Amino acid sequence: MNGIICKEGVAFRRRFAQGTMFSLFRIAAVINGAALLVVVYFLVARGWRAINWTFLSQPPMDSMSKGGILPCIVGTLCLSIGAIAVALPIGVASAIYLNEYARPGRSVRIIRLGINNLAGVPSVVFGLFGLAFFVVYLEMGVSILAGSLTLGAMTLPVIIGSTEEALRAVPDTYREASLGLGATKWQTIYRVVLPAALPGILTGTILGLSRAAGETAPIMFTAAVFYTPSLPTSIFDEIMALPYHIYVLATAGTEIEATRPLQYGTALVLIVLVLGLNLIAIIYRSRLRKKR
């Protein structure tokens, strides 16, 4: 047909191609959104019935088929806070060095290599490392301490990345003004740059918290156990944790079918925690960006 190759035909073909491709884009994005919604929907639909005050405030009872997940919630909180306590100082200091002090050269490349590769290490390898190093070699035993250190190592790249982004966003004019007034570099960082970057660092901390709360493999061998209904009293205690609890209830529990609603409930609590933290960080960050 003449229509396809004449001028109007070519124009039609190009518009058609564009329309198709852009529809494909939209379909891809919709699939992504749908994936998230499907997972959340199923968890909410099958899990909300399990959520009540008993569930959130009682330890598991009767071979875990009744009762609640209080020790898991407490354990997860301890571990995430512990992880941040480890990763935040080291991460912020590393980011400060990379962004404020370092001169481009070999040492910076090596450090960045370390960070990027650390970010790519599989979570089970972190777990094995935590086992071999913290639990056995440093003799911490299976404990909150070992688990926090392992999770802290995992969260370090997240903290470094977001802190660097926050530091970079502080305009150089701030630094120049401060130095111009006679302050030393450290004083500038401590009193001018860091406070300005604090909101961004906070965002990164929240993201790091959520990441640490959701990880299972690093704590499997270093901190979490199947059943210890009493709350931890020292950092050398073993604890239960939300992600590990889901795993054991679903695969290693003694009454898997009976505890199914509890599994959904625990998963729901976990994603509420994790997605909630992420939402807070996302909203906070977009507000920050708008302010600038």
Partner 1 sequence: MKIKGIAVPAFIVAALFTVNTAWAGSIVIKGSTTVLPIAQKVSEVYMKQNPDIKISISGGGSGNGMKALIDGSTDIADSSRFIKSKEVSLAVKNGIYPVPFAVAYDCIVPVLHPTNAIVNITMAQLKDIYMGKVKNWKEIGGPDRPVVVISRDTSSGTYEVWHKKVMKKERVFPGALLQASNGAVSQAVAKNKNAIGYIGLGYMSKDVKALMVNRIVGSADTTLDGTYPISRPLYMFTPGWPKGDVLNFINFVLNPEKGQKYVSEAGYVPLY
Partner 2 sequence: MSKSKQTGKGRQKREKSIRIVFFGVALASITTLFLIALFLFMEGIPIFKDVTVIDFVFGKYWYPTDDPPAFGIFPLILASIAVTVVSSAISIPLGVLTALYLSEGASASVREWVKPVVELLAALPSVVIGFFGMVIVAPVLQETLNIPTGLNLFNASLMLAFMSIPTICSLSEDAIFSVPVELKEASLALGATRWETIARVIFPASISGICTAVILGMSRAMGETMVVLMVAGGATMIPTSLFDPVRPMPASIAAEMAEAPFQGEHYYALFATAIILFLFTLAFNVIAEQISHRYRQVGAATL
Site for partner 1 in 23-62 (CB under 8 A): 61-62
> 256 contacts which partner out of partner 1, partner 2, none, CB within 5 to 8 A by kind?
partner 1
**CB nearer partner 1, residue 51 or residue 142:** 142
Answer yes or no whether residue 12 interacts with partner 2 by CB under 8 A.
no
- CB within 8 Å of 54: residues ≥ 6 apart: 67, 68
d(CA 123, CA 243): 13
Answer yes or no whether residue 136 interacts with partner 1 by CB under 8 A.
yes
**CB nearer partner 2, residue 174 or residue 284:** 284
> 174 contacts which partner out of partner 2, partner 1, none, CB within 5 to 8 A by kind?
none
Residue window 165-204: x/- pattern of binding to partner 2, with contact defined by CB under 8 A: -------------------xxx------------------
DSSP codes joined into one string, 72-128: HHHHHHHHHHHHHHHHHHHHHHHHHIIIII--SSHHHHHHHHHHHHHHHS-HHHHHH
The kind and range of the H/E element at 40 are helix 7-47
For residue 20, what are its two tokens? 């198709």
Answer yes or no whether residue 219 interacts with partner 2 by CB under 8 A.
no
Residue window 110-129: x/- pattern of binding to partner 2, with contact defined by CB under 8 A: xx-xxxxxx-xxxxxxxxxx
d(CA 204, CA 84): 10
Cα-Cα end-to-end distance for the chain: 56
> 142 contacts which partner out of partner 1, partner 2, none, CB within 5 to 8 A by kind?
partner 1
Contact residues toward partner 1 (CB under 8 A) are: 61-64, 85, 136, 141-142, 195, 198, 225-230, 233-238, 248, 250-258
